[in-house]
Amino acid sequence: MPETDLAGPKITLEEFQELAWEGVPYVGQLGPEVLRFEAGEIAVLLPYREILLRPGGTICGPAMMALADIALYGLVLSMIGRAPLAVTTDMTVHFLTRPKPGAVVAEGRLLKLGRRLAVGDVLIHSEHDDRPVCHVTGTYAIPPDFG
Amino acid sequence: MPETDLAGPKITLEEFQELAWEGVPYVGQLGPEVLRFEAGEIAVLLPYREILLRPGGTICGPAMMALADIALYGLVLSMIGRAPLAVTTDMTVHFLTRPKPGAVVAEGRLLKLGRRLAVGDVLIHSEHDDRPVCHVTGTYAIPPDFG
Amino acid sequence: MPETDLAGPKITLEEFQELAWEGVPYVGQLGPEVLRFEAGEIAVLLPYREILLRPGGTICGPAMMALADIALYGLVLSMIGRAPLAVTTDMTVHFLTRPKPGAVVAEGRLLKLGRRLAVGDVLIHSEHDDRPVCHVTGTYAIPPDFG
Amino acid sequence: MPETDLAGPKITLEEFQELAWEGVPYVGQLGPEVLRFEAGEIAVLLPYREILLRPGGTICGPAMMALADIALYGLVLSMIGRAPLAVTTDMTVHFLTRPKPGAVVAEGRLLKLGRRLAVGDVLIHSEHDDRPVCHVTGTYAIPPDFG
């Protein structure tokens, strides 16, 4: 893995949260909570709400994809600083098992930090159960001044 | 491509919409509109709302992923009938260009319909502009009684 | 789709074939044949050989992935010219049905041509059967001088 | 992660190697070596050969995809036993950095083992360098009698 920066993340948690929750209200409305925020490491909890359900009584895929995408955003900004225009270029999601209704947690790690692209992956699990329910790999394009 | 069924979709548009919008409220709250619903073909419009924006003044990725996922759901149900428990097993998204603020349309086609898995892809474009802004490929698992 | 260049591909077929078959001998040893080579459009045939088989008597996945990757390489070079260092950054493959032993054809189209990234997709089918056996989406990074 | 089976893999290393190298000669010709083979865990080394190169003097993508695919095959057979007809249904590859000419090692882990589908991921690194050069996620379909 790319070495994480001992000096800590290049954006504060407060700045990231403002960018993410106010900047992307379709995700922010869900009230995610950042549990861990280090340079190159992140954990974000999605609280349970009825709006997250899908047939079968499980958390819907789009909510988990939104959670993973925002976790990757935080992961990248933790390494490059306040770059709101960093954008996802691709994301691949595997839904592994159906989580029970309840909060889920996304844990992200950085796989690559280049000048132009950053790649990370995310495992999502239920709050009190470590078994993965969803795996995501994604790429972010880094704006020219931040690479 | 798998041949489409001349007899029409195996679920009515009304049934699909009820399943999709009420069954998956995180997507349904966005007020999507089905523009075309045939066996193995679908087009769904996502109306523009401010909640869809992200930094840079473009439509956020999670909204486009939600739209693509629900379009694939409709595509699969159009071929197998009312199977609410059909679930996404994987989805890969490529964000191509940033759509302007405005409605976007997802057009889906079926690539494979097996007994256990169905695969389709989706191109998303802005409402009055055919150029693709997002490409998605996804797999749905078909419940045992419907394959 | 990005508009194709009416002036034709920016690299000749001969140059592309030399780059691809001699430059990537693990693919070139299979003796692929380019059936169509336009700016933004390509078709490549993989002749049948016993080395391509896998258990079940079908064409192995790695051979189809190699074919798709080289088709995407040609697609990108047809638009940007002789850039041997253009490299794949991601590739997603869906195996749809098992092709019979026999030649397969990959048909590629360009979904995006940016300054830094190009995205395309490829459908693979058996030589005398249009039904898709494999779908691939991939991204190439464009070297700085070619974007 | 799914629990690994303390009783060891459900297929012997010898049986797996025979299936993989003789059954899939396009991969077997490269002379891969299995370094670790446990239930739900695998490491496979791809020895360096000139045929693996691509422009830029690095290992070509198709060789790394072939290596990852065969590692996933071993991972799945280690859990379900001798099922030659287990087949890849999807695979997503991210090329992270360009490995130097030299052997590369694929390390795979199981993310899900269901009755019908198994999902795993693979990190590839150069032989004497732990930094990842390639990340792969893939799904295998499990034949009916083995799920």
Read off the pLDDT of residues C4-51 as tens digits, 9 standing for 90 and up. Answer: 556 799 999 999 999 999 999 999 999 999 999 999 999 999 999 999
Partner residue facing A94 (CB), from D97, D131, D139: D139
Chain A interface, best mutation among D112, D116, D131, by max A CB count within 10 A: D112
Does some domain include residue A121? Answer: yes
Distance of alpha carbon A105 from alpha carbon D127, whole angstroms: 34
Choose the closest CB to D111 out of A2, A94, A139. A94
Residues in Cβ contact with A130 at an 8 Å cutoff, skipping those fewer than 6 apart: none
Alpha helix positions (H), B7-129: 13-17, 23, 25-28, 61-80
Residue B35 in any domain: the answer is yes
Alpha-carbon separation of residue A140 from A2, C89, D28 (angstroms):
15, 12, 35
Please give the mean pLDDT across all residues of chain A.
95
The letter for the amino acid at D102 is: G
Residues of D with Cβ-Cβ distance to C66 under 8 angstroms: 62, 65-66
pLDDT tens for residues B48-62?
Answer: 999 999 999 999 999
Q: Is A55 exposed, middle or buried (0-12, 13-18, 19+ CB in 10 A)?
A: middle
Gyration radius of chain A over CA positions: 14
Per the CB < 8 Å rule, is C93 touching D98? no
> How far B118 CA sits from the closest chain D CA (Å)?
11
pLDDT at D4: 52
pLDDT cut 90: percent of chain B above it: 94
- Read off φ and ψ for residue B25, nearest 5 degrees: -65, -25
Between CA B82 and CA C1 the distance in angstroms is 34
What is the residue whose two structure tokens read 């020219």?
A144
Could C53 and D88 be called an inter-chain contact, meaning their C-beta atoms sit closer than 8 Å? no
Contacting subunits of D (3+ beta carbon pairs below 8 A)? A, B, C
Q: How do residues C44-84 score in pLDDT, each as one tens digit?
A: 999 999 999 999 999 999 999 999 999 999 999 999 999 99
**Angle value at C-alpha D62, between D24 and C86, nearest 5 degrees:** 170
What b/e string do you get for D46-74 counting C-beta neighbours within 10 Å, with b at 16 or more?
A: bebbeebbbbeebbbbbbbbbbbbbbbbb
- For residues A39 and D1, which has the higher predicted lDDT (pLDDT)? A39
Pairing of strands D41-46, D53-54: unpaired
Rg (CA), chain D: 14
Most B-contacting residue of C1, C90, C96, C139 (CB-CB within 10 A), to test interface: C96
| Contact criterion met (CB < 8 Å) for D89 and B139 | yes
Contact (CB<8Å) A87/B61: yes
- By C-alpha distance, which of C22, C40, C34, C32 is closest to C64? C32
Look at residue B3 in the predicted model and tell me its pLDDT.
Answer: 54
- Report the relative pairing of strands A87-95 and B87-95 from DSSP bridges: antiparallel
B41 vs B109: CA distance, rounded Å: 5
C145 pLDDT band, cuts 50/70/90, is confident
Q: Side chain identity at C123, as an amino acid letter? A: L
Per the structure, the count of domains in chain C is 1
Q: Is B69 helix (H, G, I), strand (E, B) or coil?
A: helix
C139–A92 CB contact, under 8 Å: no
CB contact under 8 A, D60 and C85: no
Report the C-alpha gap between B5 and B113 in whole angstroms.
12
Q: Is residue D15 within 8 Å of D82, Cβ to Cβ?
A: yes
Cβ within 8 Å, pair B139-D92: no
Q: Is the pLDDT at C126 greater than 80, yes or no? A: yes
Reference A80, options A121, A122, A112; nearest CA is A112
Nearest to A83 by CA among A15, A37, A14: A15
| Residue B47 lies inside a defined structural domain of this protein | yes
* D7 falls within a domain: no
Decide if D85 is inside a domain.
yes
Report residues of chain D scoring pLDDT below 50.
none
Helix residue spans in chain B (DSSP H): 13-17, 23, 25-28, 61-80
Give the C-alpha separation, B15 to A2, whole Å: 49
- What residues of A are in contact with residue B19 (Cβ under 8 Å)? 55
For B33, other C-beta atoms within 10 Å of its C-beta total: 12
Q: Mutation target for B interface from C112, C116, C119: give the one with most B CBs within 10 A.
A: C112
Residue A7: per-residue pLDDT = 76
Residue C105 within any structural domain of the chain? yes
Segment A84-127, tens digit of pLDDT: 999 999 999 999 999 999 999 999 999 999 999 999 999 999 99
Residue carrying structure tokens 């989706």: B122
- The CA distance from D147 to D145, in Å, is 6
Q: Using an 8 Å CB-CB cutoff, list chain B residues near D139.
A: 89-90, 139
Tell whether B6 is covered by a domain: no
Dihedral sign from CA coordinates of A75, A80, A83, A88: negative
- Separation between Cα atoms, residue D63 and residue C122, nearest integer Å: 19
Any domain includes C75: yes
* Residue D25: predicted pLDDT: 97
Chains touching B (at least 3 CB pairs under 8 A) are A, C, D
Check residue B82 and give its pLDDT.
96
Domain CATH for A98: 3.10.129.10
Is residue A60 within 8 A of residue A27, CB to CB? The reply is no
What pTM, to 2 d.p., does this model score? 0.96
CA geometry: angle A80, C145, B125, nearest 5 deg: 70
Which stretches of C18-140 are DSSP H helices?
23, 25-28, 61-80
Question: Rounded to a whole number, what is the distance in Å from the CA of A97 to chain C's nearest CA?
Answer: 20
Helix, strand or coil for residue B56?
coil
ipTM for the predicted complex: 0.95
Q: What three-state secondary structure class fits C114?
A: coil
Per-residue model confidence (pLDDT) at position B2: 57
Provide the domain limits for residue C131. Answer: 13-146
Instruction: Determine whether C98 is exposed, middle or buried from the number of CB atoms within 10 Å of its CB (0-12, 13-18, 19+).
Output: middle
Type of residue at D32: P
Q: Which of C114, C137, C146 is nearest to C68 (CA)?
A: C137
Which residues in B lie closer than 8 A to residue D141 (C-beta atoms)?
A: 116-117
Indicate whether C2 pLDDT > 90.
no
Q: How far is C37 from chain A (nearest CA, A)?
A: 27
Find chain D residues with C-beta within 8 A of B90's C-beta.
90, 139
Give the whole-angstrom CA distance, residue C96 versus residue C111.
Answer: 21
**Measured between beta carbons, which residues in chain B are less than 8 angstroms from residue D92?**
92
